[in-house]
């Protein structure tokens, strides 16, 4: 999958894409192409290679007067060398800037990309993996730059990272070091990003690129609710499911920068990596610094095609393989049922009802530890609250396991309360300066995870609880951003404070590594006040993340649509909660809440003790249906037919399909009733196989896949003010699940549903 041509050019390719880089006239590494697979000849390579620069007065960073870097497409550009666009690297020594001239030294091809819990990276089977390592050197500055490229046979993506090695005798300071850069020869793109706020995460935002710079970023210490490390460039003017589209996503959980620049010649440069505004790193002699990996993806099928490419890549090369096939538990979470007002008797009654309706795991949320009766105390004190659990948490866990349920616990490992034994014993283990004001959010401090002693202490506390309870599941929360960033530990060991944010994230990864090494089958669900740290770095360790604290079904249509542009359904944790919804006060039908949540990992956060027998029976049928559906969620293909975008359209449609296209499920959601709705409406089903007949909802048809592709499936009849007798959808917040089974695969004798099951999936 990697061809080296005349020791001058490198062609990375598989059946889907090609990526080509080659040496520039000055010996640096340039970029030639990224897009659909090319069959490259020597003449093609010569044709694609850089021609003379358009303006003679451009600064020449070589002896060739016909060549300059100002418009060159470089693989790892350095600002200040005649290229006035943003660069990937900035280095100083004794406060003096260095302008490295990295020229080609050698290259290496390997096939090993293993999963290593110490750092989140992509990984793959050696038979499907090619890794290109290119060394570039500046002998004068005594710096070695190593660029690593990975391509997998089954993914439309290139993974990149960079390593800088100080070969000199004196330290240098890295002020800026990004993970990768993507150069495109023209600038006619719309930039698509996932933005929002707490309880409104990852809404799809689109705006045209023009000459200048556009960026999305986080400086909060985490990838954040407000922005996400994923961006896409979509060919301007093209519909959602058409046009060349490029994606970039960082395998990182801290401060990040995605910056897109269009220059005066309509060339586009996309850079991504650690945010330089909060970063510096002292590179001592004979040491190296390696950036997080970034993933560049491509699709000719617009944003819809790019979403599928991203989902496949993450499922195959980021998420722990054990969770690709293993059933994920349907959880019952205690939070909205009890909040802090919990005791063993109340919780056991709730868990017993959960077992009755078919949940797999009971999760005890906040309030089980220390003296925690509200959010004013006890973070950092990870030992049992004996007032609430007089016989110990181990005994309570035994009771849950005896019911045949898995047991889960909530932790917020990175935080400490001022009112806690932990803080009283270790006041210097929190992030805060020695002088001046200190912000406190949600009555808690951030622990200094750049300090290994802090990470070890929290691990030892968690390890004891996990062992005592034989724990199956951890919900790992993070409920505030980092302010007044200062590490007493870094000051003590003489390291620059500019290293803090990156070392903090490394500390988070270290705790994950310790937990999963000690308990390799522990399911850890990521959470950060909901979706405030939803990124590839966390997904490397946590196969699923709580998608948002906003569990309202209608709000989730936009949140889950945006999330699906970059991440698979199998990582979205979705709960059915009570109405009126706590976050927005909206009341939606139980069936709609379930159908939205079913496109992901299902859970419930209800006080089952307050529900009548009919509602409990409905929930039981929903869970039974979802257990049958989950293999599609984990291993199927997902298509955003009508995503809910920032314009908030009234209809949303999602399509889930098995790889062999023998079974498909379409979710249709209508937000508000419309008196002018057409009586008959069709929705095209692009993942249906044209030569295959399908039964629709097991009783209509068979209908050819060709008709489903080109004409569509008939949607439920919507009430339009005059057709009440025929209408199937009446009122606001309505939904339907439409199933498509190939005639050959549908065995009516084995797939008969109960009346409750039919009600669950009925129009």
Q: How would you label 70-87 residue by residue, b for 16+ Cβ within 10 Å and e otherwise? A: bbbbbbbbbbebbbebbb
Reported residue count of the chain is 763
Cis omega (within 30 of 0) for bond into 702: yes
Give which of 731, 610, 736 is closest to 666, Cα–Cα.
Answer: 736
- Pair of tokens at residue 485: 């960033």
Tokens 């617009």, residue? 302
Q: How would you label 492-511 residue by residue, b for 16+ Cβ within 10 Å and e otherwise? A: eeebeebbbbbbbbbbbbbb
Q: How would you label 614-626 residue by residue, b for 16+ Cβ within 10 Å and e otherwise? A: eeebbbbbbbbbb
In angstroms, rounded to a whole number, what is the distance separating the alpha carbons of residues 573 and 361? Answer: 14
In angstroms, rounded to a whole number, what is the distance separating the alpha carbons of residues 276 and 704? Answer: 55
The residues that bridge with 639 in the sheet, in sequence order, are: 655
Give which of 164, 278, 173, 158 is closest to 218, Cα–Cα.
Answer: 278
Burial class for 544, CB neighbours closer than 10 Å (0-12, 13-18, 19+): buried
Cβ–Cβ under 8 Å, residues 372 and 402: no
Give which of 705, 671, 675 is closest to 690, Cα–Cα.
Answer: 705
Burial class for 722, CB neighbours closer than 10 Å (0-12, 13-18, 19+): exposed
- The helix-helix angle for 344-357 and 613-635 (nearest 10°) equals 70
- Pair of tokens at residue 228: 């996400």
Catalytic pick among 71, 365, 549, 550: 549
| DSSP characters over 74-128 | BSS-BTTSS--S--SEEEEETTEEE----EEEEEEEE--B---TTS----B-GGG
Cβ–Cβ under 8 Å, residues 103 and 29: no
- Alpha helices per DSSP H over 103-239: none
Q: Is 477 a catalytic site residue? A: yes
In angstroms, rounded to a whole number, what is the distance separating the alpha carbons of residues 530 and 445? Answer: 18
- Pair of tokens at residue 653: 């449609």
Dihedral Cα 618, 335, 669, 671, nearest 10 deg: 120
Map residue 224 onto helix, strand or coil.
Answer: coil
Q: Is 391 a catalytic site residue? A: no
Query: 736: alpha, beta or left, given left = phi > 0 and alpha = psi -120 to 50?
Result: beta
- In sequence order, which residues have a C-beta less than 8 Å from that of residue 432 and are 6 or more positions away? 438, 445, 484, 486
Dihedral Cα 71, 76, 79, 81, nearest 10 deg: -60
Map residue 742 onto helix, strand or coil.
Answer: strand
- Pair of tokens at residue 219: 């400086």
Q: How would you label 223-240 residue by residue, b for 16+ Cβ within 10 Å and e otherwise? A: bbbbbbbbbbbbbeeeeb
- In sequence order, which residues have a C-beta less than 8 Å from that of residue 572 and are 6 or more positions away? 544, 545, 547, 560, 563, 564, 599, 600, 601
In angstroms, rounded to a whole number, what is the distance separating the alpha carbons of residues 61 and 730? Answer: 69
- In sequence order, which residues have a C-beta less than 8 Å from that of residue 68 and are 6 or more positions away? 53, 58, 59, 60, 61, 62, 82
Catalytic pick among 477, 535, 550, 741: 477
State the catalytic residues: 477, 549
């Amino acid at each position: 999958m990697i061809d080296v041509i005349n020791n001058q050019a490198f062609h990375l390719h598989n059946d889907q894409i090609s990526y080509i880089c080659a040496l520039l006239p000055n010996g640096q590494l340039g970029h030639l192409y990224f897009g659909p697979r090319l069959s490259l000849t020597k003449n093609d390579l010569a044709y694609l290679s850089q021609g003379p620069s358009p303006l003679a007065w451009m600064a020449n960073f070589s002896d060739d007067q016909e060549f300059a870097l100002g418009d060159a497409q470089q693989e790892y550009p350095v600002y200040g060398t005649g290229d006035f666009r943003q660069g990937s690297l900035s280095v100083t020594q004794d406060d003096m800037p260095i302008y490295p001239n990295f020229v080609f030294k050698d290259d290496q091809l390997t096939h090993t990309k293993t999963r290593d819990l110490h750092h989140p990276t992509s990984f793959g089977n050696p038979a499907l993996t090619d890794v290109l390592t290119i060394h570039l050197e500046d002998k004068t500055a005594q710096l070695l730059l190593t660029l690593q490229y990975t391509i997998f046979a089954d993914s439309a993506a290139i993974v990149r990272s960079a390593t800088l090695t100080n070969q000199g005798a004196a330290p240098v300071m890295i002020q800026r070091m990004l993970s990768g850069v993507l150069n495109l020869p023209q600038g006619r793109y719309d930039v698509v990003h996932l933005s929002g706020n707490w309880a409104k995460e990852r809404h799809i935002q689109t705006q045209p690129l023009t000459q200048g710079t556009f960026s999305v970023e986080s400086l909060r210490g985490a990838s954040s609710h407000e922005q996400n490390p994923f961006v896409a460039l979509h060919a301007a003017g093209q519909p959602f499911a058409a046009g060349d589209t490029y994606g970039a996503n960082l395998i990182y959980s801290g401060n990040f920068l995605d910056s897109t620049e269009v220059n005066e010649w309509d060339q586009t440069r996309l850079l991504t990596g650690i945010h330089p505004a909060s970063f510096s790193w002292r590179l001592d002699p004979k040491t190296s610094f390696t950036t997080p990996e970034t993933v560049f993806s491509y699709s000719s099928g617009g944003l819809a095609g790019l979403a599928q490419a991203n989902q496949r890549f993450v499922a195959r090369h980021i998420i722990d393989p054990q969770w690709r096939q293993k059933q994920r538990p349907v959880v019952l979470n205690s939070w909205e049922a009890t909040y802090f007002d919990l005791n063993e008797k109340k919780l056991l009654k709730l868990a017993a009802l959960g077992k009755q309706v078919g949940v797999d795991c009971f999760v005890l949320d906040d309030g089980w530890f220390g003296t925690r009766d509200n959010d004013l105390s006890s973070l950092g004190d990870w030992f049992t609250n004996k007032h609430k659990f007089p016989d110990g948490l181990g005994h309570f866990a035994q009771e849950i396991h005896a019911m045949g349920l898995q047991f889960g616990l909530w932790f917020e490992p990175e935080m400490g309360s001022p009112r806690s034994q932990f803080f009283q014993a270790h006041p210097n283990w929190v992030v805060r300066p020695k002088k001046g004001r200190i912000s406190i959010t949600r009555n808690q401090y951030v622990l200094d995870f750049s300090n290994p002693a802090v990470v070890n202490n929290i691990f030892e506390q968690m390890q004891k609880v996990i062992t005592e309870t034989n724990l199956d599941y951890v919900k790992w929360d993070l409920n505030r951003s980092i302010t007044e960033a200062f590490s007493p530990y870094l000051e003590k060991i003489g390291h620059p404070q500019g290293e803090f944010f990156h070392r903090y994230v490394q500390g988070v990864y270290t705790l994950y590594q310790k937990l999963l090494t000690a308990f390799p089958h522990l399911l850890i669900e990521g959470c950060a006040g909901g979706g405030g740290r939803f990124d590839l770095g966390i997904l490397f360790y946590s196969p699923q993340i709580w998608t948002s604290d906003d569990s309202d079904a209608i709000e989730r249509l936009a949140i889950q649509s945006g999330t699906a542009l970059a991440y698979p359904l199998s990582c979205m944790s979705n709960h059915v909660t009570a109405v009126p919804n706590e976050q927005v006060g909206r009341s939606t039908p139980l069936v709609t809440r379930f159908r939205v949540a079913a496109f992901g990992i299902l859970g419930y956060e209800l006080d089952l003790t307050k529900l009548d027998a009919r509602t409990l029976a409905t929930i039981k049928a929903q869970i039974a249906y979802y257990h049958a559906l989950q293999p599609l969620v984990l291993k199927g293909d997902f298509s955003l037919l009508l995503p809910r975008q920032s314009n908030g359209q009234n209809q949303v449609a999602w399509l889930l399909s098995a790889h062999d296209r023998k079974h498909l499920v379409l979710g249709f959601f209508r937000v508000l009733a419309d008196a002018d709705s057409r009586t008959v409406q069709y929705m095209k089903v692009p993942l249906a196989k044209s030569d295959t007949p399908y039964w629709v909802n097991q009783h209509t048809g068979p209908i050819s896949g060709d008709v489903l592709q080109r004409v569509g499936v008939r949607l439920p009849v919507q009430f339009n003010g005059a057709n009440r007798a025929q209408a199937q959808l009446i009122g606001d917040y309505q939904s339907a699940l439409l199933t498509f089974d190939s005639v050959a695969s549908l065995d009516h004798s084995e797939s008969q549903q109960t009346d409750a099951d039919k009600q669950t999936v009925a129009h």
